[in-house]
Amino acid sequence: MSGSDERSMGPAPDFRRATAQDLDAVHRLQVDAIRHGTGGEYDSAAVEAWAGAFNREGFAEKVERHEVWIAEVRSRMVGYVSFDPATFEIDSVYVAPEAAGAGIGRAMMEHILNVAREHRIENVWLDASRNAVPFYERLGFVTMEEVVRKPCGVSVRCTRMARLVR
């Protein structure tokens, strides 16, 4: 727990493992983050396809198989991050719009890199939405290639990025 550290940008979040009971809150947070946090980089069809791609049915299994972590400030969910130790992909990084820009995203990435380190994983990767590329670059990720993801069949251009865990 790191909740006693006060960052200059805002209080550092606490982290806990997600459970199946977090389904509704995580779903809501993700949809809000996508609708308000993609900085006009995508048209509304792409935003809604991405927002609609949340897999409610698969969530209980995901929290078992993946490292899914909730960031909280004063017991309120401000973000969540998910890492798949089988594929080395960081597959979800979402900060609540009202908490954005205060260091929560950085803290979540540092947390999940520590989790990957505990798994003795040496490299992690992710498909960054265009709005988030500068954020990941700040965190030491480098571009591998441009890719197209197809949530709900709609093309969303992303940037595949990776970094060493150490």
Ligand X SMILES: CC(C)(COP(=O)(O)OP(=O)(O)OC[C@H]1O[C@@H](n2cnc3c(N)ncnc32)[C@H](O)[C@@H]1OP(=O)(O)O)[C@@H](O)C(=O)NCCC(=O)NCCS
**Residues near ligand X (CB under 6 A):** 33-34, 37-38, 93-95, 100-106, 128-129, 131-132, 134-135, 138
DSSP letter at 12? P
159 Cβ contact list (under 8 Å, min separation 6): 127, 128, 130, 133, 143, 145, 146, 147
Least Å from the CB of residue 135 to ligand X: 4
Least Å from the CB of residue 18 to ligand X: 16
Three-state SS at 25:
helix
Q: How far apart are CA 31 and CA 51, in angstroms?
A: 5
Query: At residue 35, what is the residue type?
Result: R
Pick between residue 40 and residue 120 the one whose CB is nearest to ligand X: 40
Which pair of tokens denotes residue 130? 């265009």
Three-state SS at 109:
helix
Give the nearest residue (CB) to ligand X.
105
Pick between residue 11 and residue 105 the one whose CB is nearest to ligand X: 105
86 Cβ contact list (under 8 Å, min separation 6): 65
Least Å from the CB of residue 132 to ligand X: 4
Pick between residue 6 and residue 120 the one whose CB is nearest to ligand X: 6
Least Å from the CB of residue 21 to ligand X: 22
Least Å from the CB of residue 56 to ligand X: 18
Pick between residue 38 and residue 66 the one whose CB is nearest to ligand X: 38
Pick between residue 59 and residue 111 the one whose CB is nearest to ligand X: 111
